[in-house]
Amino acid sequence: MSRCVIYHSHTGVTRSLAQKIKAACGADLIEVMPKKIYGGLSLYTIGMLRAIRGGQDPIEQQKIDVAGYDLVILGTPVWAGKPTPAFNATISALKGYEGRKAIVLVTCGRDPGQTAGIVRKRLEDMGMKVIGVFVFTEKDLKEGKMLNELIVKVNASMTE
C-alpha cells in the first residue's frame, strides 16, 4: 500500500513529524516549498494576515499528483488558528485525489483554532475520504503517544 506525506513546514516541526512517519510506516515525503519564504516581521504581518483570510502563497510545485497513492497524509502548521497560506495552495495543487483516503495532520504550539476543521472540510468537499485527523500540540510531540496512534491508524488504513 502506497502512502505519502505532503506538508508545509516553516520552522521544521511538521517536517520532523513527517520524517518520523516515513521511518515508522514507509511513506514518500513531499515537502511543499513556498516561492518566497517569510522572514522577520513579514511572517507576523503579511503571512499571518494571509492565513487568517484563508489566502494562498505561490508554491514551487504547480501540480501534486496523488493518483498513485492509496493514502495521502496532509500536514500543516497552524498560523493564527488557520492553515498556512502555502498549505492552502498545496490543497489547490492536488491532482488525482478523487476517492483517495486522507489523514489530516496539524502541528501547533497549544491552540490549533479552526485549522483541523477547515482542512477536513476542504478535503471532504473535494471528494477525499478523511479517515483521521491528528492535531499535535508541542506537548503531544514531546509525549509521543499521539504519534503511536497515528502510526496505528496509517497501518490500519489498508483494511478501511
Ligand X SMILES: Cc1cc2nc3c(=O)[nH]c(=O)nc-3n(C[C@H](O)[C@H](O)[C@H](O)COP(=O)(O)O)c2cc1C
**Which cell is 140 given?**
503531544
Q: Smallest gap, in angstroms, from Cβ of residue 7 to ligand X? A: 7
Q: Smallest gap, in angstroms, from Cβ of residue 158 to ligand X? A: 27
CA dist 40 and 131 (Å) reads: 37
CA dist 64 and 115 (Å) reads: 21
Closer CB to ligand X, 4 or 48, in the complex: 48
Closer CB to ligand X, 3 or 82, in the complex: 82
Binding site for ligand X (CB under 6 A): 9-15, 43-44, 47-48, 77-81, 107-113
**Which 8-state DSSP code applies to residue 148?**
H
Closer CB to ligand X, 80 or 130, in the complex: 80
Q: Smallest gap, in angstroms, from Cβ of residue 15 to ligand X? A: 6
Closer CB to ligand X, 25 or 51, in the complex: 51
**Which cell is 158 given?**
489498508
Q: Smallest gap, in angstroms, from Cβ of residue 32 to ligand X? A: 11
**Which cell is 5 given?**
506525506
Which residues, including other chains, have CB under 8 Å from residue 12's CB and lie 6 or more apart? none
